[in-house]
């Protein structure tokens, strides 16, 4: 069982404090690092990945301060940056061989296993420049796994993927979470709601909340309501009066909103989802 501990991590860019006194403990499983744009996710992820230095605080991997690992720290880490880039004229196989060489991995069988795992084995001799966004993300996962890392870090990995590719990507991540720590940074609640063992809410560089999706949603219990607006006029009146988190148009408007008391006599109480929590907590953050 791998453990990763962040103790009081702080990082500023000039006067801008991006991460403030951030502490958390990770064990094997998937952690959804969820926060609005500018919350500090990439900064924190880059610090954990060892590509950015914090100003203060410490990180312990399996009980050892990572400063003592020096370069061998990277043997334990797999990192998928926000915009993975590949040599466009390399084939998938050549990319994997290149990553294997960089990581001192000599096992060619592992390359084929990983390409099969991400469903790219039949495309192994194709030039990566012609890959779709989803195929590139899957190749990025395969290459981040080349050293069988104890900690896998993903920075907004589903950016630019269509809904089908998102589901496929989430399934891949679920399948590899048993024997490692996976930190999945995103601003899209549905990316992590179903697969994360724990959600970490981050805002303005600080940890806002940590818990299972159910625990995080518990705070809104009894406060999420569904009601119907029959036409545009009713909808715009509700929009003025209520804290609306979603509107579904299916001939009439199905509204979800958050308030302490029933917003109308016909309103029905519904379960809170992570999307509701996100919109409620970060609604002023666009």
Using alpha carbons only, give the angle 31, 12, 155 rounded to the nearest 5 degrees.
30
Query: Interface with ligand ADP by CB under 6 A: which range of 32-40, 145-153, 220-228, 268-276?
Result: 32-40
SS3 55: coil
Regarding 13 and contact with ligand ADP (CB under 6 A), the answer is yes
Regarding 284 and contact with ligand ADP (CB under 6 A), the answer is no
Size of the site for ligand ADP (CB under 6 A): 11
Shortest reach from residue 19's CB to ligand ADP, in Å: 8
For 127, residues 6+ apart whose C-beta sits below 8 A from its C-beta are: 88, 89, 90, 91
Question: Which residue among 4, 6, 9, 18 contacts ligand ADP (CB under 6 A)?
Answer: 18
Shortest reach from residue 85's CB to ligand ADP, in Å: 18
93: alpha, beta or left, given left = phi > 0 and alpha = psi -120 to 50? alpha
What number of residues does the chain have?
A: 286
Q: Which of residues 157-186 bind ligand ADP (CB under 6 A)?
A: none
Question: Which residue among 43, 147, 186, 245 contacts ligand ADP (CB under 6 A)?
Answer: 43
Query: Interface with ligand ADP by CB under 6 A: which range of 31-39, 54-62, 131-139, 252-260?
Result: 31-39
Shortest reach from residue 195's CB to ligand ADP, in Å: 20
Using alpha carbons only, give the angle 212, 214, 219 rounded to the nearest 5 degrees.
110
Shortest CA distance to 87 belongs to which of 149, 144, 131? 131
Question: Which residue among 30, 39, 92, 235 contacts ligand ADP (CB under 6 A)?
Answer: 39
Q: What is the CA radius of gyration of the chain?
A: 21
d(CA 174, CA 178): 8
| DSSP string for 116-147 | HHTT-GGGTTSBGGG--HHHHHHHHHHHHTTT
When the beta carbons of 39 and 244 are compared against ligand ADP, the nearer one is: 39
Regarding 53 and contact with ligand ADP (CB under 6 A), the answer is no
Regarding 41 and contact with ligand ADP (CB under 6 A), the answer is yes
Q: Which two tokens stand for residue 146?
A: 């080349």
Q: What is the DSSP letter of 204?
A: T
Regarding 16 and contact with ligand ADP (CB under 6 A), the answer is yes
Regarding 40 and contact with ligand ADP (CB under 6 A), the answer is yes
Shortest reach from residue 45's CB to ligand ADP, in Å: 7
Contact residues: ligand ADP, CB under 6 A: 13, 16, 18, 35, 37-43
């Amino acid at each position: 069982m791998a453990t990763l501990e962040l103790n009081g991590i702080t990082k500023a860019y000039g006067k801008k404090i991006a991460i403030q006194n951030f502490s958390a403990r990770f064990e094997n499983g998937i952690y959804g690092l969820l926060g609005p744009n500018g919350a500090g996710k990439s900064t924190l992820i880059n610090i954990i990945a060892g590509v950015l230095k914090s100003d203060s605080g410490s990180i312990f991997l399996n009980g050892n301060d990572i400063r003592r690992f020096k370069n061998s720290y990277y043997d334990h880490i797999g990192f998928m940056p926000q915009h993975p880039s590949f040599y466009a004229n390399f084939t998938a196989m050549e990319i994997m061989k290149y990553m294997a060489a960089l990581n001192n991995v000599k096992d060619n069988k592992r390359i084929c296993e990983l390409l099969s795992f991400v469903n790219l084995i039949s495309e192994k001799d194709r030039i990566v420049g012609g890959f779709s966004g989803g195929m590139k993300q899957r190749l990025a996962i395969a290459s981040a796994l080349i050293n069988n890392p104890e900690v896998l870090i993903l920075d907004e990995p589903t950016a630019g993927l269509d809904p089908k590719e998102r589901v496929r990507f989430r399934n891949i991540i679920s399948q590899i979470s048993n024997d490692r720590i996976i930190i999945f940074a995103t601003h899209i609640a549905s990316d992590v709601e179903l697969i994360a063992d724990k959600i970490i809410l981050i805002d303005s560089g600080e940890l806002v909340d940590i818990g299972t999706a159910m625990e995080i949603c518990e705070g809104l219990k009894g406060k999420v309501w569904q009601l119907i607006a029959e036409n545009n006029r009713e909808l715009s009146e509700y929009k003025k009066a209520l804290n609306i988190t979603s509107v579904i148009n299916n001939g009439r408007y199905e509204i979800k909103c958050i308030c302490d008391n029933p917003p109308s006599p016909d309103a029905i109480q519904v379960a809170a989802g992570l999307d509701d929590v996100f919109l409620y907590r970060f609604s002023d953050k666009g």
